[in-house]
Structure formats: structure tokens, C-alpha cells
Amino acid sequence: MESIRSVSVLGCGLMGSGIAEVCLLAGLPTVVREVSDSRVDRGRGRIERSLEKAVSKGKITADERDEALGRLTMTVDLEPLATADLIIEAIVEHLEEKRKTFKAVEGVARKRAIYASNTSSLTLTQLAVASGRPERFVGLHFFNPVPVMRLVEVVRTLLTDPEVVDLCTDFTHKLGKEPIHCGDTSGFIVNRLLVPYLLDAIRALESGVGTVDDIDRGMQLGCGHPMGPFTLLDFVGLDTTYYIANIMFEEYRERRFAPPPLLKQMVQAGRLGRKSGHGFYEYPEA
């Protein structure tokens, strides 16, 4: 394989829809798989709305939007994945779900296809080995919102073929992203630093250090962060943050990765952040 010319994305939630969008805009035919027709409709809606926003802001033309959408195939089946050079998984942050999904994909994927996971916190070796093609397995960790954030962490395991890392590095450039490279440790580079910070903000709230608004404004106005920690937690999704914290705590056994009780209770209460209309803040438009 000389370069990556076609892509499949598994999952079309917050991240999968963004990853699909940047692939489409880079001119790559992209097949997106979701689990049900209603999820397909929701995912397509996310991509269409985001492209529409780009047109209204003058970032792309209406023709470019139409061409991008013309390269998109949405499906609930596995067979359409058979044409992809690169299959990027962006489903729920759950080891067994991801393992099961890669096993199923192995039944249809091209022999030379590369598998990538967008996992935030799972170590890749366990997924790579279960996939049946560990030498063609990498991490491609995109950041939210994908159309805006320039970074992609390109993660190799002990078993990854260096040629696959090179192909994926070129791919991130083709998407207009900046890659950084790292080895297979839970949370890679960014989440290893970011996740304890977000969890500490919740612990500070639990201890009565300040209100949600004061803590957010403190980090925005005092440190120049574009979003305070609670706005960012709502943005990432409290369910996803909870899964990430559990996985990182399990891996490192350090208190700084432990999910605070308030985070668990908010997830149990269905307060998942922007995606559910209510997290640390309320989002009546969701």
C-alpha cells in the first residue's frame, strides 16, 4: 500500500462524525458504520449540520459540501467496509465492545487494511492482538471537536509495523492535522495530563472549593484555557469521562485517575453533558 485512499469509520457519535467529516473533506471515500438505522440518521445529521456550518462560515463552498457528502456511505452492515485501506474505530469506550467489533470486521476487511482505534484510554496491544492483525494496528487519537482540533496522537504498539505508522502519519497530514507519536500507555500523552486535571476539578467542587462557574472562570481567565474544566467535561461527555477514569485507574492504580463519586452519580442520573442536554450546565437546545 503506497498511501491511504479510502477509509471506514466505526461509530458516528461525537468523534466518529468528526473523523468522517475531515476524511470526506480531504477527498477520501468514507464508509461509516453505525448500529441501527436511527443512529445512522443521527450520525448523518451531525455530519450534514457541521458541513452546513462550514459553508455558512465561508470555510467551504456549497459545491465542496456536496462533493464531500457524495463521498459518504452510511451503513449498518459490515460488507461495505471491505473496500477500505484504513478502518478507524470510534465506538463506545468499552474494551469488550471494541474487541468484538474488530473481530467482526476481520471477517470482511481487505488483507492489507490498517486498523486504528480512537480510544482515549484503553491500551492498544490488547485490542491489536484480539484483532488478528497486530502488525497493522495503530492508535489514531483525534481530539474533540475533530474539525477544529489540530492534533492526532499516532500510537504504536510493540507489534506495529513501522510502515503502518508512516502511512498513518502521512494520512494525518492529508487531513490537515499535526501528528505526535507515542507508545502504548493508557491515556497516551494528552489524557495522561488532562484527565487528572478534569477529575481534580470535580473533587474541588465536591470539597466546596468554589462553584462550577467560579472554577470554570478561574481557569479561563486565570490560565487562558478556552473552556473551564466543567464546560470541557460536559463537552467530552460525562459517561465517556467516567469510562476513561475507570480504565486509567485500573491501569495505574493512582488516586489521581480515580473517578470521583459525583461523576459516577451524574452518569447514573443520566446527566451526560451536552449530549443529554444536562451535565454540570443545562443545554435546552440539545
Instruction: Give the interface with ligand CAA as residue ranges (CB under 6 A).
Output: 50, 57, 120, 143-145, 147-149, 191, 194, 226-227, 232, 236
Residue 60's binding partner, choosing from ligand NAD, ligand CAA, none, with beta-carbon cut-off 5 to 8 A by kind? none
The β-bridge partners of 52 are: none
- Catalytic residue chosen out of the listed positions 50, 117, 120, 276: 120
Judged by beta carbon, residue 125 or residue 144, the one nearer ligand CAA is 144
Judged by beta carbon, residue 28 or residue 146, the one nearer ligand NAD is 146
- Catalytic residue chosen out of the listed positions 21, 153, 186, 276: 153
Judged by beta carbon, residue 231 or residue 240, the one nearer ligand NAD is 240
* DSSP letter (8 states) at residue 260: P
Grid coordinates of 21: 467529516
- Catalytic residue chosen out of the listed positions 118, 141, 276, 278: 141
Per CB under 6 A, 30 contacts ligand NAD: no
Judged by beta carbon, residue 41 or residue 214, the one nearer ligand NAD is 41
Residue 34's binding partner, choosing from ligand CAA, ligand NAD, none, with beta-carbon cut-off 5 to 8 A by kind? ligand NAD
Asked about 141 being catalytic, the answer comes back as yes
Which has the closest alpha carbon to 105: 121, 122, 126, 127?
A: 127
Kindly identify the residues of this chain, within the stretch 64-103, that bind ligand NAD according to CB under 6 A: 90-93, 97, 101
Place of cell 470486521: 105
Per CB under 6 A, 34 contacts ligand NAD: yes
Place of cell 503502518: 164
Asked about 120 being catalytic, the answer comes back as yes
Asked about 153 being catalytic, the answer comes back as yes
* C-alpha dist (Å) from residue 244 to 27, 92, 145, 178, 259: 32, 11, 18, 24, 9
Residue 253's binding partner, choosing from ligand NAD, ligand CAA, none, with beta-carbon cut-off 5 to 8 A by kind? none
Which 3 state secondary structure label does DSSP give 145? coil
* C-alpha dist (Å) from residue 76 to 103, 117, 160, 196: 16, 19, 29, 36
Which has the closest alpha carbon to 123: 264, 250, 20, 263?
A: 250
Binding test (CB under 6 A) with ligand NAD, winner from 33, 71, 177, 274 = 33
Contact 152, 116 (CB under 8 A): no
In order, the DSSP letters of 208-225 are TSS-HHHHHHHHHHHH--
Residues in the chain: 286
Grid coordinates of 219: 481557569
Q: Site for ligand NAD (CB under 6 A): how many residues?
A: 27
Give min distance, CB of 162 to ligand CAA, in A: 25
Which range, of 29-37, 108-116, 193-201, 210-218, touches ligand NAD by CB under 6 A? 29-37
Per CB under 6 A, 119 contacts ligand NAD: yes
Which range, of 7-15, 60-68, 218-226, 257-265, touches ligand NAD by CB under 6 A? 7-15
* C-alpha dist (Å) from residue 214 to 126, 182, 196, 210, 230: 41, 35, 19, 6, 10
Asked about 131 being catalytic, the answer comes back as no
Where in the sequence numbering do the catalytic residues fall? Answer: 120, 141, 153, 191
